Amino acid sequence: MRISIGIFALAAASSAAASNEANSRVRQRPDEFWDHIIKGSDVVDSMHAARDQESSELVNFNMRAKAVDPSSLGIDTVKQYSGYLDNEAEDKHLFYWFFESRNDPSTDPVVLWLNGGPGCSSMIGLFEELGPSRVLSNLTIVRNPHAWNNNASVIFIDQPVNTGFSYTNKNETTSSLAAAYDLYALLTLFFTEFPEYSTQDFHIAGESYAGHYVPSIGHKIVSEPDTIINLKSILVGNGLTDALTQYAYFRPMGCGEGGYNAVLSEQACQTMESNLPQCQESIQKCYDGGSNTVCINAFSLCNRLFITPYSSTGADLYDVRPNQPELDSGINEWLNKPEVIEALGVEVDGFEQCDTTVYLEFLYSGDWMQPMHRLIPDILAKIPVLVYAGDADYICNWLGNRAWYKALDWSGHEAVNNAQVQALYAGDEHYGDLTVADNFAFIQIFQAGHYVPTHQPMGWRRMDKLEGEGVKLTMEIVNGLLRRASLLSKPKWIKTGETFKDKLVDILVEIGRLFADVDSLAKPQEISERLKSILDRLWAVNDELNSRSVGSGRDILNEPLSNENWMVGDLGPITKTDFSPQSLKPDRIQATEYRRKISQLMPFFQVAQATVWAVPMLSLPIGCSLTFLQNQHNSEEVLELKIQFSQALGGKASFAISRSLKSLGRYEGGAPRI
């Protein structure tokens, strides 16, 4: 759901700035506001001695829950709870929203749903994919007939901390394994407080970067012998789980070998093929226990080689099919309504779908390139695993997902590689192919992109144990089918007609070409000249944008950039000259000068957080300049300099770019939010 120009140019606020911002936007509610409060210490006191280790982990956690009046919000008529898991020791507070099954909650399974990012709210899944209703851009609420809670109770949680309505004033979560501990505490306290849901089958599902999250929490649960969590399976949709294997399938998917027409030119395909060994070598170093810097290097290198060339074509990273309609969504506006915040007991003053600070904390910890597939064999020894993939996705494509499970070293390796592919039909429609053996199943879902529950509305009926040798897992679809579903109209953030969009596409293509060519630009003035052209065009579009009305919604494109009062820092007003290639030439790089300019920008970012054009003005010169410098010197010192600059920037504006330009290439930070 995203776009960006360069990994180290679009970045999060410094930890001090983030902490100050968090303090200013938090309003913790008194205990009497909540209908349920359960303290981890009370649970520990009642636990058996055999669970001392598990108990000790719960001591610092509490959970609060509020019964949501279904009539107050109109999302569904079923019983609902919202609230927070509190890690008191680390001042972390994770928001969740629970919906009971529409069918028979006493027997229907319970599902935990996780969106990816890292740093993207599971409210996206709730309102744009599989939840009980969708909120359109005009704030109309439309019932989702394919909701997963037709036949399951579903928990949506904003995690890691600082995602969505979750927050912290102190400690970020920086890895998938660390996030799993918070999730484990939430589930333990939830099922303790609400035992009416604790005996049903429980499943964990997620998509995209949840290819990290789901195995992490699944492994944590199956490793606890006396847990009260009745986990029966995990599901990962279009996930990133084994980067070493999956990155090898960007070229085939982009070059016409995934079942759709090629997006990339023959030359680009050949270049990708020749670049694969150096990418895989860098990932292998990370897999072999490399430092954070080693893993960051792998991320930066591989995404420059395999994401940038694709994105520079203007094609959608999340769907290789051209001209796909966009989803009409108003969840930002709706979730920021005061009455919604009050009804849900939210303790922060606003909602954003994705948090760049979280994204970069995970990136800087090296989490992106971690070998999460190594957790799967232990999980398969206890419970089934389902991997499904929409076959039109590029970024976590079905070819790569199929490849990693075929390469997985586990007891069922031979069986799953020799299993016959079974065609899945709904009536006369062949909607997918199933491969299943022992405790593992893989479904290739036809005519669906990255967001399968949106493209092919996937409802939950149950996890079946099929009769027959070696067949233990599949997924039955609500009413027996996955149907082709057209997406809705244009999104709220592109309501200005084709004029701005066409201009922006041209600019984005030029940006992509610049980054694809940056290694071959030997002279700083070549970079400067091309940057100047891009910046001039961005300012021209911005000036035209300011002169026109661009619709309602969150007014992402309605924020003016020309208000000098926003741009006044201690060292005077910031002007276009401060962003010019001439003032930021690679041969004039000085850390103190950059820090001065960045410090001036902080007030601007805080006020103009939804402005689309703010970050490109600064990120292009810095990103290109530092990339050029690193290419010249190839030093880890320069990489650290990139990270320092990234951490000094305000993070909110980069979210505005990612969300506003969703249909125009959608990748952020040198790689997509997935």
Given a cut of 60, is residue 305 above it in pLDDT?
A: yes
> Which range in 168-172, 266-270, 455-459, 659-663 is most confidently predicted, on average pLDDT?
266-270
136-140, 396-400, 477-481, 558-562: lowest mean pLDDT where? 477-481
pLDDT at residue number 45: 65
Burial code (b: 16+ CB inside 10 Å, e: under 16) for 55-86 equals: bebbbbbbbbbbebebeebebbebebbbbbbb
Give residue 530's pLDDT.
65
Name the residue with higher pLDDT: 280 or 608: 280
Higher-pLDDT residue of 493 and 621 is 621
pLDDT reading at 13 higher than 70:
no
pLDDT in tens, 28-72: 999 999 999 999 888 876 655 445 555 567 888 999 999 999 999
Q: Rounded mean pLDDT of the chain?
A: 72
Q: Alpha carbon of 115 to those of 156, 209, 236, 369, 496: distances in Å?
A: 9, 7, 10, 18, 29
Q: Where are the domains of the chain?
A: 34-238+331-384+425-480, 498-664
If one compares 46 and 117, the residue with the highest pLDDT of the two is 117
Structure tokens at 322: 């051209």
Residue 455's pLDDT is what? 54
What's the pLDDT at 503?
A: 55
Identify the residue whose tokens are 């409210």: 123
Among 40-44, 218-222, 578-582, which stretch is predicted with the lowest mean pLDDT?
A: 578-582
The Cα 335–Cα 344 span in angstroms is 10
Q: Is the pLDDT of residue 663 over 90?
A: no
The encoded tokens of residue 148 equal: 């997963």
CA–CA separation, 642 vs 625, rounded Å? 10
Give the range with max mean pLDDT: 54-58, 523-527, 619-623.
54-58
**pLDDT tens for each residue of 311-344:** 888 888 888 998 877 778 899 999 999 999 999 9
Proportion of the chain above pLDDT 70, given as a percent: 61
Least confident of 95-104, 248-257, 445-454, 532-541: 532-541
Asked if residues 558 and 521 have their Cβ atoms less than 8 Å apart, the reply is no
448-470 pLDDT per residue, tens:
887 776 655 433 332 232 222 22
pLDDT value of position 58? 85
Residue 168 · residue 90 · CB < 8 Å: yes
522 has a pLDDT exceeding 90: no
In the predicted structure, residue 309 carries a pLDDT above the cut 70: yes
Preceding amide of 118 cis, omega within 30: yes
| Backbone angles phi and psi of 595, in degrees to 5 | -60, -35
Q: How much is the pLDDT for 272?
A: 96
CATH fold of the domain at 34-238+331-384+425-480: Rossmann fold (3.40.50)
Under the banding of pLDDT at 50, 70 and 90, the label for residue 23 is very low
pLDDT at 580: 40
Q: Does position 520 have pLDDT exceeding 60, yes or no?
A: no
Task: Give the residue, 628 or 430, on which the prediction is more confident.
Answer: 430
Residue 259 reports pLDDT greater than 70: yes
Active-site residue list: 208, 393, 450
Task: Taking residues 523-535, report their average pLDDT.
Answer: 59
Nearest alpha-carbon partner for 154 in 101, 103, 115, 106? 101
The per-residue pLDDT for 192 is 95
Range of 54-63, 293-302, 578-587 with top mean pLDDT: 293-302
